[in-house]
Structure formats: C-alpha cells, structure tokens
Structure 1
Amino acid sequence: MEKMTMMDYIKETPAQAMKNIEDYATLCAPLVNYAEEKKMRRLWLVASGSSYNACHCARSFLMHTLQMEVKITTPYTFTWYEHAIADDDVVIVVSQSGYSTNAIAALDKIRALGYIGVALTGNVEHDIKDHADLVFDYGVGEELVGYVTKGVTTLTLYLMLFAIAYTKRSEKLDEVKKAIKLNEEMIDKAQTFVKQHYKDFSSMHSIYVCGAGAGYGIALEGALKSGETIHIPALPLEMEEYIHGPNLQLTPSYTVLLIDGNDAASNRVQQIYQATRSVSEHTFMLSNAANLDDDHILTLSDMVESDLTPLVYLPFVQVLAAMISQDLNSVKQHPLLKKFKSYADAKTASFINYDEDD
C-alpha cells in the first residue's frame, strides 16, 4: 500500500469537514459544556506551528461570534512569560499530534497554577493525555503526514463550530457549508493555477505571504508550509505592514502572494497587489475582485463572509507546498538536523516520523 501524501489529505478534507458540520453539536459538546460551566469571559488558545496558524484563521470568527476577547499565544511564551489566567478564562492547549513537548509543558504550567488542563488534539490517546485533565478531539480523523493540511482546516472549522454551538447561532451553518464547497473548488483550481505558473512557483528562492484579519492566519500557514516543505525563506506579513519596510528589499526575482479578504478593505489589497506587480512578475493574489482581469489572480465561482475566508483559501497554500515540494523533492532535511534534534527536539520520544524526511 502506497504512503499517503499531503495531496491525499488535502483532497480528503472537504468530506471530513462536511461530516464534522453535520455532527457539530456532538463534536463540540464537551468543550461547550466546559465553557458553560466556567461561565467563559475570555478564550485562550495556546498552540504552535500549524495549530497556532489555524487558531489565527478562526480568531476573527470566534471574536465576532462569541463577542469576547480571544487571546492566542505559543506554548513557550505561555509557559515562561504570559500566564495570568483569570477564573472565568477558558484556556485550551492545542496539539494535533498530541506529541508536542511545548504543549505538554504548557499543560503542566496550567495545572501547576491550580487550573484545569484542557487539551484539544487530533489524537486523544497520545502522550498529551497524561498531562491534561480534559482531552477533547477536534475531528481531524487520521493524518499521518507531518506537514499537516487536513488538520489545519478541520481545527479552524472546529473552533468556528464551537463558537456557533456555544452561542446557539445555528443559522451560520449554511455559510460554513458554502465555504467547504468552495474549499473543494479551490483544491481543483489551485492545482490548475500552480501548473499554469509552474516556472514561477518551481523556481522560488523566497516568498512573502500577506493577509489581514482572518487572512492573516492563511498567511502564517502559507509561509510555514512553504518554508518547511520547499525549504525557502518564507515570511508571513500583515497586509499593510508589508509595505512599511519589508517591501523595500523587493526585486523582480521576489515571489509575493497576497490574500484578499473580499471585504471593505479589498481596494487597498488591490492597490498593494498592483504596486507589487510593478516590481515583480512573480506576484499573485487570491481574490474575487470583479474589476481585475489578470491571470495572476485566482478567483472562484463565489465567496463567503470574510471571517470564513480561511476555509476557502487554505487549500491554495497547501496545494502549492504539496505540488512544488514533491516535484523538487525538497522535504529531505539537511543531515545536521539530526544533531539539532538531539539537542532540542520538538516531539516526545513516542513520536514516529512517518515522512522519513530526516
């Protein structure tokens, strides 16, 4: 039996997402019940890597639906620097694999402070369970490849579904379902788009990925995926911050991907796109802007509200990383990374490297 690939899991995502939407009340009930018991006034999401990025993808939707502060921090920062928890805070430590040493350390810190340790994971039987009082499954199913894709989208979705269930706003589900249908369309169109611009994408030496609002989470994940699979410097930037310094090193050889929220800020995004395109032909945008006819802009048949944009646009950055890294065979790590991990590993000893990339 052939090993599963990033692309396999990307293609599995819409079906898993639709299943989770149909089962959302049951899937989210454990966390909803806990949050109700706590009389939640503020939500903390403690996560790293792709889980951190997924939390940012969901943050705008969470804030606007829950009508409360949503604080996102990394486990390292939480453990050592920022852990002033209030009694009515709900603090969730996220780790898809259930093997992340920093997530485990954050849970240990929470319990040492006298609070309940809550873990949200894709693998409830992995090591994280031994460091948490409550362990919730967010519904990714199986994903063995370390460069996670299905897990990012399903975690983003779970957090959104939690907000819907907690606030009893089931009328929002139709728009969420629409987003997942567009997710499937994006998977197909992204593959065509990457092939259409294959010389550009297969020769990247660096990439800026820019977004704002919910799109900032996509930018974070797009940069991470390009960096860890294609092995090029990849920088995520908030849209306007990009033109306050980082743009000054642009040359015609740079690759820049802009993510439009298709909202009131779209005109500014389009201005920044045109400005960047005037310097580099390796400039691309995800947007449904009707006034721009440009083959460097990927458009879909429809769009959803801006807060749901990650459910629609995440597949593009995933497909890009999957296709280019596979063709370039670029995921193999430098031999010295084994020495690096002997000093400072990010996973527990139970972790099995399915990718065999080291």
Structure 2
Amino acid sequence: MKSIADYVALEPEYYQSILDNYQTLFVDTIDLSQVKQFNSIVIFATGSSSNAAYGARPLMCKILKVPVYIEDPSIAANYLHYSDPNTLYFAISQGGESYSTIHLVEEFIRNNQTIYTLTSNPDSPLYKISNNVLSMGIPIEEMPYVSAGYSVTILDLILIALVIAQKNGSMDDQQFASYFDQLRKVAGLLPKVIEQSQAWVNQYQHKFYHSQRVIFIGYGATYGTAREGETKFTETVRNSAFGKELEEYMHGPYLGLDEDDNIVFLEPHGVLSDRAELLKLFLTKHVKNISTIYANNSSNLKPDDLCLNIDIDELYASLFMTIPVHLLSYQVSKLKGHNLEKSTYPEFDEITSSKIKRI
C-alpha cells in the first residue's frame, strides 16, 4: 500500500493530468441549461473533503462572483431545506462511501433535484446512486488517510468554478486563460514545494513528536489548510490538534493556550497578514513553540519557519500549502510507531455504519 508521502509525491503528476483533461472531466458534464439566474453554489462535504472545499472557496467566489456555501451533509439531509433552482449543488466524497453524503444525495434524487457528485471511485455506492457524477480525475487513493485526494479536490473545485463562469458568460477566454496559467504555474512548482517541505519536516519533526497539542492557524485559502492540519494530525499522530481561522482563534480559543502548545501559522501573504503578525506578537509572550509556513518569502523569518517561495496570489495558496502539513503528520505518526495501513478501531465502521462499502 502506498503511504501518505507516496501520494504527496504523486500530486504534480495528478495536477498535470487534471489540467490536461479538464474539458472531459468538467466541461462536457456540467449542464447549466436549467439554471435561469445563477445565484450561488452549495457544497456538501465532511472531513478532508470539507477542508478542501474551504480551501477552494475564496478563489471560487472571486471567479464566480456569487456566494459559495459549505454544508455538513448530515445536518443538511436531516434538518435543513434546499430547493433553490438557481443554486448549483455539489456533494463530495472521494471514496464515495460516506454514509451522510450518500443519504443526502438520495434525498436530492428523491425530490427530483439536481446535485452533482464528485468522487474518484466508480465502484462506490455514491457513484452508483448518483445521476450527475463528476470524476475527480485520479485513481482511487488506497491510503485511508487521504493526501493527494484532498489537494486534487481543491484543484477540481477551482476548475469547476472556471468552467461554470465560462459557460454562463461571466468570464471571457482571456480571463479563463489567465486563471488557468496560474494553475499550471502551481503544478509546475509542486516538486520544489515537496522537496522544501520534506527538508523542513526532517529537521523539525521531533519538536512536534513531543507536542501535547498542535494548533494550526490560517485565513482565507489557508483556513482549509488549518482544518486539514487538525484532521490529519489527529487521525495519524493521534494527538490533540486544532485548526482555527485567524479571527476565530482570536475570539476566545486563545484563552485556553498553554506555554507548551505548538502553534503553526499558515501565511499566504494575504489581506490579513498584519492581523496574523499581531497575534504572533501576543503569542510569543506566552508560548514557546511558534512557527510559520509562508507561501512566499518573508522578512520576519525565524529558524524553524518554512518559506515555500511561491510568488502567487494568496487565493492559490491552498493548492500547495498543505503539502508540509501532510508530510509532517505522516512522519510524526511514524515516529510514534503508528501503522497507518491498519485501522486503530476496526469495529468503528461496523458499529456506526459511517462508511457504506456497497449497495
């Protein structure tokens, strides 16, 4: 079985393949003919799929100039109501086995509503019950703790937004090409990001090995990265981890800080960078271990910071800034002696039916 690191190494290849085949994946499959006045997008997702959607949302909103909402499929199916004919609905489940997502899509189909499902598994229950399936454009990720699939979901959602904008006439060919060129730029720089990230992880993994609690803080496109840090570090290292939006952390959670917390800022060099620096200034008075992963270079570098040196708009940062987070989670889990190929609690799915293997 491939490891998390193996799948991270495949991300440049996956990105390039999706960019080469986006027309087959999305242009030929998304139909806007029934949408008279395009008002918004709602994405239903949980876990890493939800984290990825948060990473893609800021750029999607800029491209489409409409709100993009992210909802939990269990709450949506059981307690909420969606029937706006001018909203496009998407459900994401990479493996296509998430009970709550399958249940939600079944509800949409039962009510004769259109919902697009994004998955990588053509043999999954979600794929089989869906009427409008979008392929993620990658093979099934064998490792249960997804890494490449998370990153690919972000790229897919951005491309879906570009395709919709082109189809509804809100973006011309020149604007489309400009966005697309930036995506190609990121894909071409991924090998360098992986190399730099691996070197940083090798040097500082022991600091995180001894941490009792890790807190990831991001904003804008890196809010999804912070959420994914919480998810992946908790899953693989099996230690306390939290992923917070910058202002969210400043409005309450900071009161629970401890001097032994290990805090990681995810800095895309965006509109809230000054706010992040003020928070760091406060935290340095109370916390010993603070590091920053920068999308680009910085004049405020500390020895344990990581600069990825990608000169690009902050809204693209989610496409590459989770790479060091995934590699860090993986290598610290190895230091802990955890076998990620074996379920920690094999009875969990059997008892809860959280995953549906077949229908």
CA deviation map 1:34-92 (0-9, x unaligned): 23543432211111111111111110111110111111101101101223221121111
The residue aligned with 2:262 is: 255
Corresponding position of 1:156? 154
Structure 1 position 319, deviation (Å): 0.7
Amino acid at match of 1:60: P
Give matches, 1:9-158, under 5 Å: 9-32=7-30, 34-39=31-36, 40-158=38-156
* Identical-pair percentage: 23
| RMSD after superposition | 2.1
1:214 corresponds to: 221
Distance change >3 Å, CA 215–CA 332, structure 1 → 2: closer
Q: Which amino acid aligns with 2:322?
A: L
Q: How many residues align?
A: 348
CA distance in structure 2 between the partners assigned to 1:218 and 1:230 by the alignment: 17
Separation in 1, partners of 2:10, 2:246: 30
- Report the more deviating stretch, 140-149 or 58-67: 140-149
Helix, strand or coil at the partner of 2:321? helix
Alpha-carbon contact 2:226-2:244 (below 8 Å) kept: yes
Between stretches 253-262 and 289-298, larger displacement belongs to: 289-298
Q: Is the 8 A contact 1:286 1:297 kept in 2?
A: yes
Number of the residue aligned with 2:281: 274
Cα displacement string for residues 75-128 of structure 1 (whole angstroms, at most 9, x for unaligned residues): 101101223221121111111001111111001111222213432101123111
Q: Which runs of 5+ in 1 are unaligned?
A: 352-358
Q: Select which of 181, 184, 198 maps to 1:174.
A: 181
Alignment of 1:186 onto 2:190: no
For the 8 Å contact 1:62–1:160, the answer to whether it is kept is yes
| Structure 2 partner of 1:197 | 204
Provide runs of 4+ in structure 1 moved above 3 Å. 331-342
CA distance in 1, matches of 2:205, 2:330: 13
Distance 1:331 1:81, change over 3 A: farther
Match of 1:354 in 2: none
Structure 1 residue 331 displacement after superposition = 5.0
Letter in 2 for 1:108: E
Answer with 46-55 or 171-180: which moved more.
Answer: 171-180
Question: Partners of 2:274 and 2:102 in 1: how far apart?
Answer: 43
CA-to-partner distance for each residue in 1:202-242, whole Å, 9 max, x for gaps?
Answer: 11221111111111111111110000110012111110221
Q: Secondary structure at the match of 2:315?
A: helix
Residue of structure 1 in register with 2:311 after alignment: 303
TM-score (norm 2): 0.91
Contact preservation (8 Å) 1:273, 1:285: no
Scaled by the length of structure 1, the TM-score of the pair is 0.91
